[in-house]
Amino acid sequence: MSLIEVRDLTKTFPYKNSTVTILRGINLSIEEGETLCVVGESGCGKTTFGKILAGLHSCSGGSYRYDGQEVNTFTKKQSVSFRRNMQLIHQNPYESLNPSSMVFDMISAPLKHHRKIRNFSELYRETAALLEMVGLTPVEDFIDKYPTYLSGGQRQRVSIARVLSMNPKSIVVDEATSMIDTSMRISLLDTLKRIQRELKVSYLYITHDLALGRYFAWEHRLAVMYLGQIVELGPTPKLIGDPLHPYTKAILSAGDIEGRESYDLKGVDIPSFHALPPGCSLSPRCPQMIEGVCTVTEPVLSDIGDGRWVSCHLYREE
């Protein structure tokens, strides 16, 4: 049984007097201790998906099971334990930390409330251990600082420590490095990877930067999202080394890898969610479009062996 299991998940938002569907049938699962990286361009629905997994939004249709239990049918007690086990690291550490509380207060508050630690010296010990784990050492230099004194990377480490204080089983990491200086991103990702090895936590890592996703999820799996659907899912080295879906090929080609054949989509603009093309949503831009098939029937994400899944008529079994 997977820790996170999502079947035909949809999300619809009200829009003017009608509705718009942002997530259109997502199927995936995440095991304990595994990383799944979701890559997609801005506006493809990846953040909405992250919020649903984190329990901030409910889904409109389909099923989302956490630890074998349907999230929509949680009892109050189950819901409390779900919120403890599932945590979210926000994109912008300049807004996600309270500017008027010290690092110690921010990390010890959840320890007090949820782990019922009341003794000060014990709280201090626990907080220091968490700061050490996220690499904010020497601890004495950071524990009594306010967020204003910290750099973006250090702030993001504080928010990781705060999340870890709950001892979660899974963490949604939404573009956690995009606000951090380029020269410090790798060390933050390395810290997250080390924490995963030590604590066996699962990550859903959301990013628009394929190269960062490749680095972070190299031993794990990568999913490519386009207009609210997963178009390709597979082990990272295979997906990057030998992309199957035309959209994956195109974004890899745009990333300008030398020695790779250039692969361009037709047209320039992404269709809007309000006027989706019939059939495959990539069909108007796809250079390998099959007339009469792709423009009519919507492809489904299907298993093609080797742990790889792709949603494209080109790989359909006859």
Partner 1 sequence: MSPDDWILDIQNLFIDYRTKRGNLHAVHDASLRIRPGESVAVIGESGCGKTTLAASIVKMLPLNADIRSGSITYKPRKGKSVSIHSSSEQTMRTLRWSEIVMMFQASQSSFNPVTKIYTQFLDTARAHRMKLTSQQVLKRSRELLELVYLNGDAVLNSYPHELSGGMKQRTLIALSLLLDPQLIILDEPTTALDLITQKRILLLLNSLRKSHNFSMIFITHDLGIVTQLADRVVTMYAGAVVEDSPSSEFFADPKHPYSVGLLRAIPKLNAAFEHLYSIPGSTPDLVRRIDGCLFSPRCEHSHDRCLREVPQLRSVGGHRLAACHLYEEVTV
Footprint on this chain of partner 1 (rule: CB under 8 A): 41-42, 151, 153-154, 181-188, 190, 208, 210-212, 214-215, 218, 240, 250-252, 254-260, 265, 268-270, 272
Picking from 228, 258, 223, 226, the residue whose alpha carbon sits closest to that of residue 243 is 223
Q: Closer CB to partner 1, residue 62 or residue 152? A: 152
C-beta of 100: minimal distance to partner 1 in Å?
Answer: 18
Q: Closer CB to partner 1, residue 98 or residue 272? A: 272
C-beta of 87: minimal distance to partner 1 in Å?
Answer: 24
Q: Closer CB to partner 1, residue 36 or residue 250? A: 250
Q: Closer CB to partner 1, residue 71 or residue 222? A: 222
Q: How far apart are CA 114 and CA 243, in angstroms?
A: 44
Q: How far apart are CA 177 and CA 219, in angstroms?
A: 19
C-beta of 25: minimal distance to partner 1 in Å?
Answer: 22
Q: Closer CB to partner 1, residue 250 or residue 310? A: 250
C-beta of 152: minimal distance to partner 1 in Å?
Answer: 8
Which own/partner contact pairs does 271-278 have at CB distance under 8 Å and 24+ positions apart? 271/227, 273/20, 273/21, 273/22, 273/227, 273/228, 274/15, 274/20, 276/227
DSSP letter (8 states) at residue 3: S
C-beta of 95: minimal distance to partner 1 in Å?
Answer: 15
- How far, CA to CA in Å, does 165 sit from each of 91, 103, 182, 267? 19, 13, 27, 48
